[in-house]
Amino acid sequence: MTDDDFVGMDSETHLFRAGRRAPPVVCVTWARPSGRKGIEVGAGARRLVFASLERALSGGPVLAGHSIAYDSACWLATWPDVVTLLFEAYERERIVCTKVNEKLLDIAEGTHFEEPGRGRYKLGELVKKHLGIELEGKGTLQLQYGELDGVPLECWPREHVDYAVNDAVVVFRLLAVQEARARTMQYSLPDAAFQAAADFALFLTTCRGVRANGERVEALLADIRAKKAVLEKKLVAAGLLRTQNHRDGIPTLHKSVGKMRELVWDAHGEDSPRTPGGQPQTDRVTLEDLDDPRAEDWNEYSGLEKTEGSFVLKFLEAVSRPAHPNYNILVNNGRTSSYGDEHGGFNIQHIARMPGIRECLEARSGCALAACDFDTQEMRTWGEATSVIVGRSVLAERYRQDPHFDPHTAFAATLLGISEEEALARKKAGDAEFKLWRQNSKPGNFGPPGGMGVDGLIRYARSYAGLKWRDVENCAGCRMGRSSTSRDHTCFAARVRDTWFRQWPEARGYFAHVGSLTDSGSGTQVQLYSGRVRGGVTFTDAANGYFSGLAADASKRALWRVTRACFDPSLASPLLGFRPWAFIHDEAICEGPEERAAEAAEEMRRLMEAEMQKFTPHVPAVASPQLYRAWSKKAEPVRDRGGRLIPWEDRATAG
């Protein structure tokens, strides 16, 4: 590695806090492989950043940093006019991140995992692991740079200068180790710079943060607590809730899982469904089968506890100041993840869809949320994957014939033994029975592509929100009915799976290929188009990987395009001034002035479809925009007479 290849960079900043996740820059350091290095503050730091980006764009060294998305966001916050240069540098793959690289390499090796809260990918940990160096000053010196802002460099304590410069030095030393690792694996990290760009986009999303409506949160909390109080009386009487003295002396109620296990055992004995650890299972589906009011109360109580603890209490903190959901750019299958922290952040990718929950989060005053999600994204990417791997895909052909093809209606028609024309007519007429069949056919389309078997399909169908196969009547040859148990579903599930294989004949060839990858138990998968590698995959990992990873790549590209349009004035996009607000796998949501939101959402659709189309050349890409003030899963696109999008209003919470 020479000075022409890379320059390691790092920034020290003021402390971040709620509402300021990208604080002002205090100093910027740089280091070259040859040993040259330096530190700049104030106007010098600004000149360094601009010059480094300009050089990178004109064939000079690529900028490398650890979590450089953070540095980039701080540069942008401190010097807003760096925006076009910065986005252009990311776009042209002139910025890379050693944290992203490390994850990509670990995933390729099959050794990627994250120990919760352990910071396995922090600079200090990686430097210790790969360079055998213990970095001094993390958590102490690092927190003191705010006090040095404005102080001339010659007055800085030596250790503060050395600490900052050293971070830039270890970055390119780490990069050298990563390049060597990549060489041994014969892996060129083809999407490293792109993942770094998407990481920047996601960090900007975190910076924006989300606000909650205090009245809605309070009302929801009161409602939950009232419902809990009613159930508590009954569950205490049944011995399923016990009081325990907390150490501060306040007695609190706790569920007695042991007692619940006894009820399951009483009902099923040796035949009880078991957890992997061998205990009688107490999940929702098992308890529903008990047909015991105590178990019903338990299920309802558990749901309320989950809603209160995981969602509503988090929203409470977002009432008086923004909360900042965090994102992780890369997990094993190529997707992102989201997580909470001690600063009031939370995992925004698992907020319940149940009406009333998401609605607590809303746009700031004068703003609307412009949202756009991909239509049946993973069905389309499976169609793409089978087109490429098998050479022919009925599913892809159907999408090409009709970009708005509905695979669930088609599959339900086959299951029911009726024609697609009749199915479509019944769907259009609002036929309730057909609607139920369509809903019940979804697990059949979602599960089997990932290699799901009959038992798995039953479990999936029974836990699928708002769906119960026991409600499917008239299943010839089955004993399906209101009192059916999980075993009675086997016949239906087997029929669903067989029908699925007939519906999409490309499935045989797909699984043959996936099986050949993993013949020896585990194998290596190369992602279509992006070339990202994942090692140590099992059959089901690989079966899922092709379509979920492809969808993830497309969605991240789409988010990048949307984010750049929001920030970079040189694009003069209708999205300019809007800010990405959330990213939920197949959906992007931006926040911005209500009066421009319609055009913004339409532009999101255009950009997202264009990006997705690059990843599914055999299948048309379709995305749907919509507007709302409060987040909701119930929302639908609403247009005025002129066809212009207007914000969707929830009848339940309007007024």
Partner DNA sequence: GGCATTGGCGCC
Partner DNA sequence: AAAGGGCGCCAATGCC
Rule CB under 7 A: which of 617-646 touch DNA? 633
Instruction: Output the smallest distance, CB 368 to DNA, in A.
Output: 20
Q: Which of residues 578-607 bind DNA (CB under 7 A)?
A: 584-587
For tokens 């695979």, the residue is 407
Distant-in-sequence contacts of 472-479, Cβ < 8 A, 24+ apart: 472/436, 472/437, 472/440
- Angstrom distance (rounded) from CA 73 to CA 567: 11
Does 265 sit near DNA (CB under 7 A)? no
Does 450 sit near DNA (CB under 7 A)? yes
Closer Cβ to DNA, 450 or 620, answer by number: 450
Does 461 sit near DNA (CB under 7 A)? no
Does 346 sit near DNA (CB under 7 A)? yes
Instruction: Output the smallest distance, CB 220 to DNA, in A.
Output: 15
Structure tokens at 559: 């988010």
| Window of 205-213, 254-262, 315-323, 621-629 that interacts with DNA by CB under 7 A | 254-262
Does 299 sit near DNA (CB under 7 A)? yes
Instruction: Output the smallest distance, CB 274 to DNA, in A.
Output: 8
Q: Label residues 43-80 b or e (16+ Cβ within 10 Å = b).
A: eebbebbbebbebbeeebbbbbbbbbbbbbbbbbbbbe
Dihedral of the alpha carbons of 234, 237, 242, 246, in degrees to the nearest 10: 80
Does 647 sit near DNA (CB under 7 A)? no
CA atoms within 13 A on the CB side of 54: 7
Q: Which of residues 219-248 bind DNA (CB under 7 A)?
A: 247
- Angstrom distance (rounded) from CA 548 to CA 378: 6
Q: Of residues 84, 144, 347, 439, which one binds DNA by CB under 7 A?
A: 347
Q: Of residues 163, 172, 500, 539, which one binds DNA by CB under 7 A?
A: 539
Instruction: Output the smallest distance, CB 469 to DNA, in A.
Output: 15
| Window of 139-147, 216-224, 306-314, 428-436 that interacts with DNA by CB under 7 A | 306-314
Closer Cβ to DNA, 341 or 420, answer by number: 341
Q: Which residues pair with 221 in a beta bridge?
A: none
Instruction: Output the smallest distance, CB 308 to DNA, in A.
Output: 7
Instruction: Output the smallest distance, CB 423 to DNA, in A.
Output: 23
Amino acid at 495: R
Instruction: Output the smallest distance, CB 239 to DNA, in A.
Output: 12
Q: Of residues 82, 207, 454, 582, which one binds DNA by CB under 7 A?
A: 454
Closer Cβ to DNA, 154 or 270, answer by number: 270
Using alpha carbons only, give the angle 400, 401, 404 rounded to the nearest 5 degrees.
Answer: 80
Q: Of residues 57, 153, 331, 418, which one binds DNA by CB under 7 A?
A: 331
Per-residue HEC secondary structure of 122-157 comes to CHHHHHHHHHCCCCCCCCCHHHHHHHHCCCCHHHCC
Q: Of residues 333, 381, 386, 573, which one binds DNA by CB under 7 A?
A: 333
Q: Of residues 310, 414, 490, 524, which one binds DNA by CB under 7 A?
A: 310
| Window of 148-156, 392-400, 447-455, 485-493 that interacts with DNA by CB under 7 A | 447-455
Does 155 sit near DNA (CB under 7 A)? no
Provide DSSP, 68-127.
HHHHHHHHHHH-GGGHHHHHHHHHTT-EEEHHHHHHHHHHHHT-----TTS-TTSHHHHH
Does 508 sit near DNA (CB under 7 A)? no
Amino acid at 375: D
Q: Of residues 35, 150, 276, 643, which one binds DNA by CB under 7 A?
A: 276
Does 44 sit near DNA (CB under 7 A)? no
Does 272 sit near DNA (CB under 7 A)? no
Instruction: Output the smallest distance, CB 606 to DNA, in A.
Output: 21
Q: Which of residues 109-128 bind DNA (CB under 7 A)?
A: 112-114, 116
Closer Cβ to DNA, 352 or 576, answer by number: 352
Closer Cβ to DNA, 349 or 414, answer by number: 349
Q: 160 — phi, psi (to 5°)?
A: -70, -35
Q: Of residues 452, 562, 590, 630, which one binds DNA by CB under 7 A?
A: 452
Structure tokens at 464: 């699928």
Closer Cβ to DNA, 144 or 538, answer by number: 538
| Window of 40-48, 169-177, 512-520, 605-613 that interacts with DNA by CB under 7 A | 512-520
Q: Classify strands 587-593 and 367-374 as parallel, antiparallel or unpaired.
A: antiparallel
Q: Of residues 84, 328, 414, 524, which one binds DNA by CB under 7 A?
A: 328
| Window of 11-19, 46-54, 298-306, 619-627 that interacts with DNA by CB under 7 A | 298-306
Structure tokens at 314: 């988090």
Q: 25 — phi, psi (to 5°)?
A: -75, 140
Does 414 sit near DNA (CB under 7 A)? no
Does 150 sit near DNA (CB under 7 A)? no
Residue whose C-alpha is closest to residue 339's, from 206, 250, 472: 206
Does 104 sit near DNA (CB under 7 A)? no
CB 263 within 8 A of CB 294: yes
- Angstrom distance (rounded) from CA 187 to CA 182: 5
| Window of 223-231, 289-297, 334-342, 641-649 that interacts with DNA by CB under 7 A | 334-342
Positive or negative, the Cα torsion across 560, 566, 569, 574? positive
- Angstrom distance (rounded) from CA 576 to CA 558: 16
Provide DSSP, 523-586.
EEEE-TTT--EEEEE-HHHHHHHHHHHHHHHHHHHHHHHHHHHHH-GGG--TTTT-EEEEE-SS
Q: Which residues pair with 65 in a beta bridge?
A: 97
| Window of 43-51, 284-292, 396-404, 473-481 that interacts with DNA by CB under 7 A | 284-292
Residue whose C-alpha is closest to residue 197's, from 113, 114, 100, 126: 100
Does 487 sit near DNA (CB under 7 A)? no
| Window of 14-22, 24-32, 211-219, 443-451 that interacts with DNA by CB under 7 A | 443-451
Does 335 sit near DNA (CB under 7 A)? yes
Q: Of residues 279, 522, 524, 624, which one binds DNA by CB under 7 A?
A: 279
Q: Of residues 72, 499, 518, 525, which one binds DNA by CB under 7 A?
A: 518
Instruction: Output the smallest distance, CB 311 to DNA, in A.
Output: 8
Structure tokens at 237: 């009487």
Closer Cβ to DNA, 310 or 414, answer by number: 310
Q: How far is CA 95 from the centre of its chain?
A: 23
